[in-house]
Each structure stands twice: as structure tokens, then as C-alpha cells.
Amino acid sequence: MRESPWEVVLSAGPGTPTRPASTDTTALVTAVESALGEFFATRRELVDELGPVFVTSVAALQEFVLRGGKRTRPAFAWTGWLGAGGDPNGPEAAAVLQACAALELVQACALVHDDIIDSSRTRRGFPTVHVDFEHRHRDRGWSGDAGHFGKSVAILIGDLALAWADDMVAAARLDPAAYIRFAPVWAAMRTEVMGGQLLDVHGEAGADDSVEAALRINRYKTAAYTIERPLHLGAALAGADPELIAAYREFGTDIGIAFQLRDDLLGVFGDPAVTGKPSGDDLREGKRTVLIAEALRRADATDPTAARLLRGCLGTDLTADEVTGLRAVITDLGAVGEVERRIADLTDRGLTALAGCSATTEAKRRLHAMAVAATKRVA
């Protein structure tokens, strides 16, 4: 009899022989997706009662959540729990893994809403949720504005994902003492990601294009809920001591910001065939990323013509040639090199914090590999 995906992951703890990182990752991804699929199945009766319109919308959410992804957030939470002494063979392991998997529903909410805010048309090579429903409206010849309809449905689907993230945690039936430690961290994470998104919207309006403002957005919109808080959640579930939690959070913040800085570079220089998003989208959307903020800072100091060009072009419908030209300007200003330097420094600092903490040796190995993968990725 073959092991179930759950058994593979739940048994892959410090007491078992070390496996290749790719095998560990594959097993965890499978287990997380199994947990998500099982949760969606538990909603089916309630969803069916609301009728075919809701059934269709939930099907779109389920497809979006399960379509793919690295399951980065559950992986950090699960590994943080293991590193703080969580027993993968213990009676609480299945509940912990389900709570970790619920992070994917928070992520789904953030992505669906972010695509609306950024007017993105594709995600992972597919139409974004609001564009999908825009097409459905138009194809059926319904009344009203198709674009407005698509955005309205997608907003509600994103809201549902966030609500169901809480439901999935509740359904996990965590140990009461563990849940008491978990709940305030979960609440802080949700507030931080929404606050970071608001800071991002404000930044795109041009109110503050400084490097410091861009780093603040990275800290709360991405780093907190991608790595720092997932690790913190795992540590809280395991009852970790304050020193390990502090080390996890330092590692998570540094690696999380480096992760977003890599994303900033991919948003301007990434290959659409790899990233699944149009080339130069961040420029068209006018995102005030650290990369753009650094370019503007340098242009203001040394090249007023480049500064005027950047500010005049950001947030406009750029052609492919115009994107190529702006890439050259940003590179020539030295902004790309500075962002690469920041990524390297943050990664080194985060790995130093990890090396000195009391997490298990196996967890440190996994977290080190995950940090390198997150900061050197191409998609």
C-alpha cells in the first residue's frame, strides 16, 4: 500500500533520514493541496444551497487556489513548527498542517485583490479572476459593464477566500493552548498584509516615492505574511521560547524583504514565459518599488532628464520598446546593482540569524535552502 501524501510529510521529521530538499518540498506541496481540496469539499453542501451562481464562483476560487504555486507560506509555517520541536508523528501534526495550509487562502485573497488594484490581466499564465469573469459576462451578452462585473465578483471571491482561511483554521481543531498562542499572530498577520496593501496603493499615487517608503511596503505587504509571520505561527503552535521566535522573525523579515526585492526586479526584467506576467508590468502600473525608488533617488541627484522621463512614463501604457528603454535607464543609473546588493546583504544577515538560533539542525537546513530559493528565483 502506497503512503498517502499526508503520511509522507507527517513522517518527514528530524528523526528520519535526510531526504533531498526537492523530495521534501514535493511531499509538502502535495499534502497542503490535499488539505485545501478536503476543506473545499467540506464547504460543498453549504455552497450548493446558495445556487449555481455561487457554485460557479467557488469553483473559480478553488481552481485559482489549486492551479499551482510553491506553497511558500505553509512551507515556512510547517518548517518553523518542526524547528521549534513540533512532532510530525504526534497527534497534533494533522491539525497543524491544516492550519498552515490555510495560509494559501490568505494568499489567494491577496492575489485576487492585488490583480484588481494593479489592473493585471494575467496571473501564472491565465486570465486573472476579474478578467475571467469579465469575459464570462461579455461572452454571455449580459447587461451592464463587463469590466465592472468582473471586478465586483473578484472582490467578493477574494473576501470569501479570507473568510474561509479563518474557517479552515477553526476546522483544524488545534489544541486549545496552541490556538491561544496562534490566534494573536494570525490576527496581526492579516492586519499587516492589508495595511501593507494600503501603503502600496498610497505609494502608487505618488505621495511618497522614497526608498524608505518602498521598504516599509515590502516589510508589511510581503515579508510579514510570506516568511516572518508563517515562521512565527509555526513557532507559536510549538510553544517556542521568545529567543527562537525573535530569531525566526529576524530571519523572516530579512529574507522576506529580499524575496520582494527579487520580485521587484522580475517585475521589470522578468521573462513573461517564466513569470506568467507581461514584461514590464510594474512600470505600466506605476509601482513605487525599491528598484524604482532607488532609480528616482539617483536620477534626482545626478540626471534630471532621466528623473523626468521615469516620472513621466511610470503608470502609463508603455510599448515594448519604451519598456526596453526604461530598463536601460534604470540599469545605467545603478539601481539594479544596488537592489542586488541589498538582496545579498539581507540574505546574509537572515542566514546569520538562522545559523545562531536554537531551531533543529534539519529545520535550519531546510530554511537555509528555502531562503536561497526565495531570493535567487527567476519566477
Going from N- to C-terminal start, the domains of the chain cover: 5-375
Q: DSSP states of 281-345 as a string?
A: HHHHHT---HHHHHHHHHHHHH-HHHHHHHHHHTTS---HHHHHHHHHHHHHTTHHHHHHHHHHH
Alpha-carbon distance of 260 to 275, in angstroms, equals: 14
Phi, psi of 123 (to 5 degrees): -150, 120
- CATH for 5-375 (3.40.30.10, 1.10.600.10, 1.20.120.160, 1.10.10.10): 1.10.600.10
Which is more confident, 29 or 378? 29
H-run or E-run covering 159: helix 146-172
Alpha-carbon distance of 326 to 51, in angstroms, equals: 49
Percent above pLDDT 70 for the chain: 93
For residue range 167-223, what is the model confidence (pLDDT) as tens digits?
Answer: 999 999 999 999 999 999 999 999 999 999 999 888 878 668 899 999 999 999 999
First and final C-alpha spacing in the chain: 37
Confidence (pLDDT) at 378: 78
Confidence grade of residue 5 (pLDDT, cut at 50, 70, 90): very low
Q: What is the mean pLDDT of residues 125-131?
A: 95
For residue range 311-358, what is the model confidence (pLDDT) as tens digits?
Answer: 999 989 999 999 999 999 999 999 999 999 999 999 999 999 999 999
Alpha-carbon distance of 370 to 258, in angstroms, equals: 12
Confidence grade of residue 278 (pLDDT, cut at 50, 70, 90): confident
C-alpha cell at 313: 512614463
Q: DSSP states of 55-83 as a string?
A: HHHHHHHHHHHHS----HHHHHHHHHHHH
For residue range 302-313, what is the model confidence (pLDDT) as tens digits?
Answer: 999 999 999 999
Alpha-carbon distance of 326 to 268, in angstroms, equals: 9
Alpha-carbon distance of 106 to 161, in angstroms, equals: 7
